[in-house]
A and B are shown apart, each in its own frame.
Chain A
């Protein structure tokens, strides 16, 4: 070994050593996080006594909490009324970071750097990376209101992978009577003008629905000068349910995502005969020219632009996905072009099951990060905010300013209604994003008022426009929700779509494959010459069989079993 070689050898050794030191340094930090879970409660104990001491003094200590919000948004104004009130009464001020850009990229950077703010909105990637603190001990010790709020849902909140509670779900916990006047879920939507044109017929089946659209399109080939579009299907990126989900509803099943569950056993429906029947129908409708030629080429923005133009007669979609287009139509004064959701089924013997009782959404809401310096303060704050008084402030605003009370009923003047709908006003007078992700009372308060202003019957009645009144009266309904059958109690496991397939697992890969195959073949099948439909369908189901569907179904079934076991009371 020559001198030079030796030097190189030495040098590389030094490099290697220093590298491994740095790395093990990082490693040490990381593995520490695992233990932190256990010690969090102890740490919390120490700080808790401090806060308790402060509380007994009657002084309010100011503190700041940093929040990461996993969606794009706008900062509230610095003098926001609600945040000011929170600061005055609890000492808490907020530092929000909204998502800018791609969520996966942002999370990747956060996880790689272990750089977490105090509180983050729920995400399975963060859970998998161990970014959240377990909350069950914190809640037991310091948050009696939260404990009571979630009492019935306690087991459902546990992470199926390790049994800890990481996220406080924001929606799905109901109290009192539930008023709802707005249906946000999936349906076959049809323009109100179409129903009016044909004397408000009762539409129950898929065939009736397309007949109406065909007749209307024939009669009015153009709407406001643009060609009428019969039926629109959005299949862009993650918003792919417009193409995928309809078959399960048509056979009277609720939305379980990619599977249909019978007696606690899940199987995919993409390749089943009832799915074929739907796509064959679409194929026929395409032959009649009812389906937009560009439907599979467009992205979400183009889709929304078409809906907003009022030329689209119908589509299958979830209401929340296109409600912005309806707002635009309303602003344009084209109320007759807004939509009615119809719970279609294959035949009248099937009961529709589109509308479901809202479920706990575990992928949403807030979790406290492992980096939070003072989890006890945070949980105490959340505990305060779940109290009924604060909930009223967050949902309705301040009495006298944002709403009025008549005979114990909450109501708004027209000015207050206009304010509430004004985004600029909201920035200064509502804590909209924060409230959106906070644990919240849904349904009604103990005094019987709705927790949601738009669901308060008096408020809803006041907001119905004359055109809508006519439609509703023709059917004898109070609101558009009445088009749907009343939902039965949810099965214990429901819904299967919220099952975490676990990042990188075979099940998840199979699911991605399935998505890919459906995205590729279904448009082909729908646009195909009717004579070729069967052969395209054959290719499709053949490829599905090659994908590892079993891994996907097994994972779902395993989780369904787990849920039935753990969630049953």
Chain B
């Protein structure tokens, strides 16, 4: 046992950082390591790659409970239906718009809140603000949309009451009946629900900044604002970029629940996302193939966006994910 361990550590720490050719003896030496990685590898294959097989559904007229060989193959028919439908462009526009709004708003508010929280000196208040702001994260969307709908109501909705009292509007506005407000409402609900939660990671990043930097800046006569600008922000830049790259891949995940639960006939032109479209014409019709085609489309776009963001970051000499 000791012997193998000794060999293994020797193999793990080669004298020079040179690519070692993979040989039988190396594999034998590291067999414990290899065995240890097998379960993880199986896990990934089983849950990340085997399901990709299901993509074949997108090229069939899939009927459940029928063998693979009995399925009817239809080529790109589902994709054609998706892309030629009048609604698809509109749905794509909505998804992208709301995705980008959520991304930008989510980012800006989370970073600003983190910076501001970092400036609070009284720990009690800092904790209080943090707790209050991240609690909505644990509410489900169905509850959040209920709260949103109630606050936007024209009978005793808090938003209309406040705006009326401030004399900004003279008559209550029916917020949920106008398409032009819809994206904003969705963005604002997202911010309310997630801002505290998103802030946590930035606060952690800020906590890891060397206090000596602040001291040095102070000695150099930096104001509070300047310290924020020249110490804190650069300190969390790496975190920001990585998170941004990861979120770009999720732009098409603009959401389903909010739009589905807050949407109605009057705002459908602004509220319907790809997910809702796929639900209506795919799952609700038992047309699982179309739903799969929609899923593939989203995945392809997401991966492309992710790679593009990563590439851009690399070009700009920033941290990157891949």
Interface of A toward B, CB cutoff 8 Å: 19, 23-24, 26-28, 30-31, 33, 104-105, 108, 111-112, 114, 125, 128-131, 226-227, 235-236, 293-294, 296-299, 301-302, 503-504, 508-509, 512, 516, 519-524, 527, 546
Give the chain A neighbours of B287 by CB distance below 8 A.
503-504
Contact A297 B67 (CB under 8 A): no
Q: Complex: how many Å from CA A299 to CA B260?
A: 11
Contact B70 A503 (CB under 8 A): no
Contact A129 B65 (CB under 8 A): yes
* B30 sits at the interface (CB 8 A): no
Among B61, B65, B69, B285, point to the contact of A111 (Cβ < 8 A). B65
Q: Complex: how many Å from CA A158 to CA B281?
A: 28
Known: A128-B286, A302-B149. A523 touches B265 (CB 8 A): yes
Q: Which residue of B lies closest to A518 (CB)?
A: B265
Among B65, B68, B155, point to the contact of A23 (Cβ < 8 A). B68
The 5 closest A-B pairs by CB, nearest first: A27-B67, A503-B286, A504-B287, A519-B265, A111-B64
* B261 sits at the interface (CB 8 A): yes
* B319 sits at the interface (CB 8 A): no
Contact A296 B285 (CB under 8 A): no
Contact B285 A509 (CB under 8 A): yes
Contact with A along B251-267 (1 / 0, CB 8 A): 00000000001001110
Instruction: Report the minimum CB–CB distance from A35 to chain B (whole Å).
Output: 12
Q: Which residue of A lies closest to B279 (CB)?
A: A104
Q: List 26 A-B contacts (CB under 8 A).
A: A23-B68, A24-B69, A27-B67, A27-B69, A28-B67, A30-B66, A30-B67, A31-B70, A111-B64, A125-B286, A130-B65, A235-B265, A294-B174, A296-B266, A297-B149, A297-B176, A297-B266, A504-B285, A508-B285, A519-B264, A519-B268, A520-B265, A521-B265, A523-B265, A523-B266, A524-B265
Contact A19 B70 (CB under 8 A): no
Instruction: Report the minimum CB–CB distance from A564 to chain B (whole Å).
Output: 27
Contact B68 A24 (CB under 8 A): yes
Contact B286 A297 (CB under 8 A): no
Q: Complex: how many Å from CA A302 to CA B86?
A: 32
Give the chain A neighbours of B146 by CB distance below 8 A.
301
Q: Complex: how many Å from CA A519 to CA B53?
A: 37
Instruction: Report the minimum CB–CB distance from B48 to chain A (whole Å).
Output: 14
Instruction: Report the minimum CB–CB distance from A301 to chain B (whole Å).
Output: 8
Q: Which residue of A lies closest to B49 (CB)?
A: A15
Known: A19-B53, A512-B280, A516-B268. A27 touches B261 (CB 8 A): no
Contact B261 A299 (CB under 8 A): yes
Among A24, A105, A112, A301, point to the contact of B64 (Cβ < 8 A). A112
Contact A297 B177 (CB under 8 A): yes
Instruction: Report the minimum CB–CB distance from A66 to chain B (whole Å).
Output: 19
Q: Mark out the residues of chain B between 53 and 78 whose CB falls within 8 Å of any chain A CB in the assembled complex.
A: 53, 61, 63-70
Contact B264 A504 (CB under 8 A): no
Give the chain A neighbours of B66 by CB distance below 8 A.
30-31
Give the chain B neighbours of A512 by CB distance below 8 A.
280-281, 284-285
Among B67, B154, B266, B268, point to the contact of A26 (Cβ < 8 A). B67
Q: Which residue of B lies closest to A301 (CB)?
A: B146
* B189 sits at the interface (CB 8 A): no
Known: A31-B67, A33-B65, A520-B268. A297 touches B53 (CB 8 A): no
Give the chain A neighbours of B288 by CB distance below 8 A.
108
Give the chain B neighbours of A301 by CB distance below 8 A.
146
Q: Complex: how many Å from CA A512 to CA B174?
A: 27
Q: Complex: how many Å from CA A302 to CA B281?
A: 27
Total A-B residue pairs with C-beta atoms closer than 8 Å? 99
* B299 sits at the interface (CB 8 A): no
Known: A112-B64, A522-B265. A294 touches B153 (CB 8 A): yes
Chain B contact-residue range equals 20 to 34
Q: Complex: how many Å from CA A24 to CA B53?
A: 14
Q: Complex: how many Å from CA A522 to CA B266?
A: 9
A27-B68, A294-B154, A512-B281 known, 11 other contacts, Cβ within 8 Å = A26-B67, A226-B155, A296-B265, A302-B149, A503-B287, A504-B285, A504-B290, A512-B284, A520-B265, A523-B265, A527-B266
Known: A23-B68, A27-B69, A129-B65. A509 touches B281 (CB 8 A): yes
Instruction: Report the minimum CB–CB distance from A19 to chain B (whole Å).
Output: 7
Contact A504 B65 (CB under 8 A): no
Instruction: Report the minimum CB–CB distance from B155 to chain A (whole Å).
Output: 8
* B283 sits at the interface (CB 8 A): yes
Q: Complex: how many Å from CA A302 to CA B149?
A: 10
Instruction: Report the minimum CB–CB distance from A5 to chain B (whole Å).
Output: 15
Contact A516 B280 (CB under 8 A): yes
Contact A293 B154 (CB under 8 A): yes
Give the chain B neighbours of A299 by CB distance below 8 A.
149, 261
Instruction: Report the minimum CB–CB distance from A27 to chain B (whole Å).
Output: 3
Known: A297-B176, A504-B286. A114 touches B265 (CB 8 A): no
Instruction: Report the minimum CB–CB distance from B129 to chain A (whole Å).
Output: 32
Q: Which residue of B lies closest to A32 (CB)?
A: B67
Contact A520 B269 (CB under 8 A): yes
Q: Complex: how many Å from CA A197 to CA B129?
A: 56
Instruction: Report the minimum CB–CB distance from A263 to chain B (whole Å).
Output: 31
Q: Which residue of B lies closest to A501 (CB)?
A: B285
Q: Which residue of A lies closest to B290 (CB)?
A: A504
Instruction: Report the minimum CB–CB distance from B206 to chain A (whole Å).
Output: 40
Q: Complex: how many Å from CA A7 to CA B266?
A: 60
Q: Complex: how many Å from CA A131 to CA B70?
A: 17
Q: Complex: how many Å from CA A293 to CA B160?
A: 14
Instruction: Report the minimum CB–CB distance from B98 to chain A (whole Å).
Output: 18
Contact A129 B64 (CB under 8 A): yes
Give the chain B neighbours of A24 by CB distance below 8 A.
67-69
Among A26, A30, A108, point to the contact of B283 (Cβ < 8 A). A108
Instruction: Report the minimum CB–CB distance from A524 to chain B (whole Å).
Output: 7
Q: Complex: how many Å from CA A60 to CA B174?
A: 65
Instruction: Report the minimum CB–CB distance from A381 to chain B (whole Å).
Output: 26
Q: Which residue of B lies closest to A130 (CB)?
A: B65
Q: Complex: how many Å from CA A42 to CA B288?
A: 34
